[in-house]
Amino acid sequence: MLRRMLCVSYFSGMPGNSIGHSLKLTTYGESHGDQIGGILDGMPAGIAIDIAQIQKELDRRRPGQSHLTTERTEYDTVRIHSGVFEGKSTGTPIAFSILNKDQRSKDYSALEKVYRPSHADFVYDAKYGHRDHRGGGRSSARETACRVVGGALAGLVIPDIEIRAWTSSIGPIEIKTDWQHLDLTKIDAHPTRCPDPAAADEMEAYIEHVREEKDSTGGTITVVATGVPVGLGEPVFDKLQADLAKAMLSINAVKGFEIGSGMAAAEMRGSQHNDEITADFQTKTNNAGGVVGGLSNGAPIQLRVAFKPVATIGKPQETVNSAGERVVLEAKGRHDPCVVPRAVPIVEAMVRLVLADHYLRNLKYKR
Amino acid sequence: MLRRMLCVSYFSGMPGNSIGHSLKLTTYGESHGDQIGGILDGMPAGIAIDIAQIQKELDRRRPGQSHLTTERTEYDTVRIHSGVFEGKSTGTPIAFSILNKDQRSKDYSALEKVYRPSHADFVYDAKYGHRDHRGGGRSSARETACRVVGGALAGLVIPDIEIRAWTSSIGPIEIKTDWQHLDLTKIDAHPTRCPDPAAADEMEAYIEHVREEKDSTGGTITVVATGVPVGLGEPVFDKLQADLAKAMLSINAVKGFEIGSGMAAAEMRGSQHNDEITADFQTKTNNAGGVVGGLSNGAPIQLRVAFKPVATIGKPQETVNSAGERVVLEAKGRHDPCVVPRAVPIVEAMVRLVLADHYLRNLKYKR
Amino acid sequence: MLRRMLCVSYFSGMPGNSIGHSLKLTTYGESHGDQIGGILDGMPAGIAIDIAQIQKELDRRRPGQSHLTTERTEYDTVRIHSGVFEGKSTGTPIAFSILNKDQRSKDYSALEKVYRPSHADFVYDAKYGHRDHRGGGRSSARETACRVVGGALAGLVIPDIEIRAWTSSIGPIEIKTDWQHLDLTKIDAHPTRCPDPAAADEMEAYIEHVREEKDSTGGTITVVATGVPVGLGEPVFDKLQADLAKAMLSINAVKGFEIGSGMAAAEMRGSQHNDEITADFQTKTNNAGGVVGGLSNGAPIQLRVAFKPVATIGKPQETVNSAGERVVLEAKGRHDPCVVPRAVPIVEAMVRLVLADHYLRNLKYKR
Amino acid sequence: MLRRMLCVSYFSGMPGNSIGHSLKLTTYGESHGDQIGGILDGMPAGIAIDIAQIQKELDRRRPGQSHLTTERTEYDTVRIHSGVFEGKSTGTPIAFSILNKDQRSKDYSALEKVYRPSHADFVYDAKYGHRDHRGGGRSSARETACRVVGGALAGLVIPDIEIRAWTSSIGPIEIKTDWQHLDLTKIDAHPTRCPDPAAADEMEAYIEHVREEKDSTGGTITVVATGVPVGLGEPVFDKLQADLAKAMLSINAVKGFEIGSGMAAAEMRGSQHNDEITADFQTKTNNAGGVVGGLSNGAPIQLRVAFKPVATIGKPQETVNSAGERVVLEAKGRHDPCVVPRAVPIVEAMVRLVLADHYLRNLKYKR
């Protein structure tokens, strides 16, 4: 059955390259095309757009930031083409692009017909029949650079909401401290983006160890949003946690999502889990993770996201090519042993996009 | 700030009561209105609609099925009003409704102004300013009955895909056996909907114990879909796992979502996690959980979802009323100590809705 | 080619039974099912819902209002099932239904396989393969009763906007007077819904004459909306006139749409057509029809819509049945010779839905 | 009231820069930014993309093609950035851009605060509070270049459908011949894009006469689509004619829309208007204009669209500036006296986008 599917091409489908309703990001671009980019539609007019600030977020995502990440040195520079006039948004769509400078497409020619394990090569071939195989094409995590730009713009819509993400675990090493006791201004001070200094050093050593073994590792990112107004989220399907979960699971390599108590909620009792309400309508605890009944309740929104280990590893792996012939693959060249530190700004960006979208979906109707 | 928000009413927002694009379910109804219901738009024409089969799914969700669930005896009966002619779908929208027979609104009058902990009372008041407080109104899990009907209809679009969900843990008690070794025909044979007989009995005892203590418990549901064609899912935002995560997190009380390796992926290495591909384009393992690069790869789709414990408990809890005055709440009357067994058909329904929607988004364009 | 299409069934398609984004109406129902209805999602909370007022609009649409319309006496009564509590909207979806009381399905059995000229019988068969033929099924204008209900609710969102539609021509007879000089409180006083008494009487006589000849006639409806705030409409595709045109052309039997100068604009010169702007930002003329650059400019929105003559006539017509066999058709029974008077409330309803939707899409973002 | 609206800025709104559902075009760009462009999402994979063909369509729209159009010589060149690999679509979004070369922003500095009659200056200021005034900014017809590119790509999805538009009237001069008797291969042979040689010469003389008088003129465009399969269109709101009307009215300067008999239907009788059906399920006449009950019936789709005269004229006009002070405006420089000939490819493009979108919304579901 699968073989037959490989032969048919010309599949259609309602497209999925946009996210958001009131604030809508559409992205485009392949890893080795001439550029990637996007359009953010729905930005209110009159907002000061600081390109340096957007560029700074983009710099946090780029490879080659530290010895832990891939050695490629891409200098991603964002260019804005519309929707901004004299430094302020005009309410029209903001288009942006980032050139693909350091493509080295030749590196990938050997892989043209090989289906790399846990990569999208096979499924893209099966679905589309025709694909840009270079560097993963559209399935490459390079696309997430556009999310970082979109998220930085979205953040300008909700300046009173502070969103911070950090590496909370790498492989078996995790932060034990409750986030309220971490110094979140230190996140970027360590190449792991872990704000707990002791854990961070352990994580760094672990990543280096894994790299030496030509292997890779997964990890988790925790993200907290404070200053969220009460009432964001739209019952019953566009609950705030539902849209956050979708945004998180739309990021390459994410396999799990938790809000508040998360998976651990399953083991708890109601008397433990319930967040009692105080006289100022705050809650004593925050097992809810800031969302009740699909709506923000004013408490910090607290999420945890699991990333699988990087699929490209130097160790030999068995797989097949498009003809179904057995291939043993040993990845050469430049690849991250762990994407988690670089994914921190991506996670933040997606949370910003969701919260700004829901903020704009929740404006006051008043006659 | 919160107090001020409580005073303003008249909020607007882009509505969120629909899910799906090619197959779109819109639901309506409050717990204590005269009826609940929905419209399923996008059903292809010519599909035989067996109302008895839909009713059967609805019966799996209703309260009063076993001694473990609430004692209310609601006999939910689905009525179809359109879109079906001479037993087959016509391609026009299928509207359905379910009467609210056993309302007992008076039970709730005492709660009119009390904000129950971990319920949506406060956030609905803050967002909307005017709410139907009876039985939770729109935020009640009663709404999920409409999802079960919609999901049963959606299942008719994808008859070759088999979707099975079951209780995989209740509180600290979990199934240890790999799902391939479980007898999934036994799910409904036990009131817990756990197909592992030994674990099921333990879970049953645990739920009864928790009830005696006037408390409640959480749990997890695992769901597996087999027979999924390769290529469902739309990069980059409507990845299949992203839409599944959204659908799961849109269910009341869900706090966590995992696909394939899930949260555990964070601790794994690439060499462990990668699913090697065989000559027939299958994978040796399924850490991916059936989705790679946002697209189904033909392997079983495998999800796990965590439900928090029921918020309504008999134990005394501190909270406030809408005036901010301290109230001690001890829930009386009929409430489930654990929703997980009844949530099994809801989880299945949501997976059906997502897979059928993506199936219809992925039809073949062929000239 | 057509014959082949008739044989295949099971077509799919992204469904089209919803209109609006911030305020979204979804309708369902066939002419001879048990009921028709809809869901209006996005209604802000706290709005007083006067069911009598909604019923009044519905009464304006029903058949049997005067000797000019069909003799069927349907007493359409709207029932509201959700989204309203203690007389006010709650912000949750408002579901409503109208029973189909006077169905007489037997009248249509003879037509089961006949493709009536200029009716949807053939195209529905070709698209869906399986259709409810009774009374036109989903393609019946009965569906517009749901639009009237939705529009009446939408009107409550924009109480400061006054929307008035009237019959401006029937066949060759038209109002010559400029609308500003008509007494628009007289619209419903005449069975034609023409506010120019002399023209109205002529129209009435013309309709009766046409009916005697077993024929039917078309006509136009003019609609004017005053009190529209400046700035409604979303460039570049959801321009206000674009969404109004779509709404008008979605009404059964509409063949043409004009805003402001309309088709006549093609013959005009810029020096005639341009609307000069005065010191209070008003315009001296209103050739624009109240919309410039896709945005309302505060002047009255002025539209004209052409309805084709009713397709069902008593005169003999040649056509075929589904087997392609020649049939001569002479419609018996109860049919309007002219739908225009009854379409007036439908046109108003659609304008209300569009303006309320755009009103809610245009709320103020203010930090 | 209007003055007050001018003072507030920061309006939001659900954005409107996308059209289509299965095939979705999003455009961006201002007249005097660095570039304009768009993203076409939903293109099926495997379609040969001939950039020269797209460029050719774009060339038909550009100014400076003949002595009748503005003297600016913009050499618009389309660049494609994604979604095409080795000459064929990959199923991923196709991004394209066109540089704004000949901007001359200084020409517009004098107009910064003047509200030109029948232009969008005032309404954009009122809605957004902050706008790029240069050359009309986002409200400039320059944006339509992106539609031509999008439409050319959309046309590749429906190669069996032939879409032809032409100038059918300019001011008072119109084609009298029925379109079936015109030589539609001659459309581009005349600078007016009128395929009736005698009328074309008259139109040309009329345009020149109007220009000499420092005035402008409107006109109509007729468009016919043949080879349309039966069944395109989605009841009840996304009827094919409804989406076509929206697309047409979204084009700058369009004031009226007719399908088939159009506005004239209002004067007709049923016995004249009805299209009798023949044994091969064709119709003897085509008053329907190819759409019945919202669905294509296989007959040619036939539309007529009215364009108002160009708002920018050399004759003096009274208006005001943003301070409400009286200004007399006499447009200098390069402006078309009539946009109709250049609008022909824009109209075709929009029809292509709608038909391709509905084609992809109507794929066959077959188990």
State mean pLDDT over C341-359: 97
For residue D337 the two structure tokens come to 């006296």
**C residues 99-138 lying closer than 8 A (beta carbon) to B:** 127-132, 137-138
D48: closest CA among D87, D81, D79, D78?
A: D87
CA angle B367, C5, C11 (to 5 degrees): 75
Look at strands D219-226 and D254-259 and give their pairing: unpaired
State mean pLDDT over C320-329: 93
- Confidence category of residue C359, pLDDT binned at 50, 70, 90: very high
Residue numbers in D near B16 (CB within 8 A): none
Per-residue pLDDT reduced to its tens digit, D179-190: 999 999 999 999
pLDDT at position A299:
97
**B residues 256-285 lying closer than 8 A (beta carbon) to A:** 256-283
- Using CB atoms, which residue from D160, D363, D367 is nearest to B364? D363
Number of inter-chain CB pairs under 8 A, C vs D: 435
Test D362 with C241 for CB contact under 8 angstroms. Answer: no
Q: Which residue positions in chain D have pLDDT lower than 70?
A: 1-12, 64, 69-74, 102-110, 334, 367
Q: How far is D273 from chain C (nearest CA, A)?
A: 7
Q: How far is D45 from chain B (nearest CA, A)?
A: 9
The sign of the torsion formed by the CA atoms of B326, B331, B337, B338 equals negative
| C-alpha–C-alpha distance, residues D315 and C91, integer Å | 52
**D residues 19-38 lying closer than 8 A (beta carbon) to A:** 21-24, 26-30, 33-38
**B residues 282-311 lying closer than 8 A (beta carbon) to A:** 282-283, 287-289, 292-298, 304, 306-311
Per-residue pLDDT reduced to its tens digit, A284-297: 999 999 999 999 99
Whole-complex ipTM: 0.96
- Share of residues in chain D with pLDDT > 70 (%): 92
State mean pLDDT over C240-257: 98
pLDDT at position B71:
55
Test B276 with A117 for CB contact under 8 angstroms. Answer: yes
DSSP, collapsed to helix, strand or coil, labels residue C251 as coil
- Using CB atoms, which residue from C23, C33, C93 is nearest to B28? C93
Q: How far is B364 from chain D (nearest CA, A)?
A: 7
Which DSSP letter does residue D309 get? P
D363: closest CA among A12, A166, B93?
A: A12
Give the nearest chain D residue to C19 (CA atoms).
D237
Residue count (chain D)? 367
Between C65 and C319, where is the model more confident? C319
CA atoms within 13 Å, Cβ hemisphere of C169:
21
| C-alpha–C-alpha distance, residues B152 and D88, integer Å | 40
pLDDT at position B342:
96
State mean pLDDT over A122-149: 93
User: In chain A, which residue ranges form alpha helices assigned H by DSSP?
Assistant: 2-7, 51-61, 121-128, 144-155, 197-212, 240-249, 270-273, 340-360
Contact D330/C at CB under 8 A: no
Residue numbers in B near C17 (CB within 8 A): 39, 41, 92-93
DSSP, collapsed to helix, strand or coil, labels residue C272 as helix
Test A256 with B263 for CB contact under 8 angstroms. Answer: yes
- Share of residues in chain A with pLDDT > 90 (%): 83
Residues 6+ apart with CB under 8 A from B60: B148, B188, B342, B344, B345
Test B255 with A262 for CB contact under 8 angstroms. Answer: yes
The answer, yes or no, to whether residue C30 has pLDDT greater than 60, is yes
pLDDT at position D107:
59
Give the nearest chain C residue to D293 (CA atoms).
C120
- Using CB atoms, which residue from A262, A295, A361 is nearest to B306? A262
pLDDT at position A104:
59
A11 φ, ψ (degrees, to nearest 5)? -80, 150
**D residues 187-216 lying closer than 8 A (beta carbon) to A:** none
- Confidence category of residue A282, pLDDT binned at 50, 70, 90: very high
Test C365 with A363 for CB contact under 8 angstroms. Answer: yes
Test C365 with A364 for CB contact under 8 angstroms. Answer: no
pTM of the model: 0.96
Whole-number average pLDDT of chain A: 92
Q: How far is D291 from chain A (nearest CA, A)?
A: 24
pLDDT at position B68:
74
Question: Comparing A32-36, B32-36, C72-76, C123-127, which segment has the lowest mean pLDDT?
Answer: C72-76
pLDDT at position C367:
55
State mean pLDDT over A185-195: 96
Whole-number average pLDDT of chain D: 92
Residue numbers in C near A43 (CB within 8 A): none
Residues 6+ apart with CB under 8 A from D203: D167, D169, D170, D171, D173, D192, D194, D219
Judge whether C218 and C343 are in contact, CB under 8 Å.
no
Chains that touch D (3 or more CB pairs under 8 A): A, B, C
State mean pLDDT over A325-341: 89
Give the nearest chain D residue to C169 (CA atoms).
D266
Which domains are delineated in chain A? 17-365 (3.60.150.10)
**A residues 48-87 lying closer than 8 A (beta carbon) to B:** none
- Using CB atoms, which residue from B12, B82, B138 is nearest to C92? B138
Chains that touch B (3 or more CB pairs under 8 A): A, C, D
Per-residue pLDDT reduced to its tens digit, C154-202: 999 999 999 999 999 999 999 999 999 999 999 999 999 999 999 999 9
Test C159 with A367 for CB contact under 8 angstroms. Answer: yes
CA distances from D346 to C116, D54, D252 (A): 36, 13, 10
Judge whether A90 and A130 are in contact, CB under 8 Å.
no
The answer, yes or no, to whether residue C318 has pLDDT greater than 60, is yes
Q: What angle, 0 to 180 degrees and rounded to 10, lies between the N-to-C axes of helices B340-360 and B144-155?
A: 50
Q: How far is C208 from chain B (nearest CA, A)?
A: 36
Between A130 and B171, where is the model more confident? B171
pLDDT at position B1:
37
Test C266 with D169 for CB contact under 8 angstroms. Answer: yes
pLDDT at position C103:
60
The answer, yes or no, to whether residue A65 has pLDDT greater than 90, is no
Which DSSP letter does residue C217 get? B
| C-alpha–C-alpha distance, residues C258 and C290, integer Å | 12
DSSP E strand boundaries for A76-117? 78-80, 84-85, 88-89, 94-99, 114-115
Give the nearest chain B residue to D43 (CA atoms).
B365
Q: Which residue positions in chain B have pLDDT lower than 70?
A: 1-11, 64, 69-74, 102-110, 334, 367
Contact C363/A at CB under 8 A: yes
Contact A229/C at CB under 8 A: no
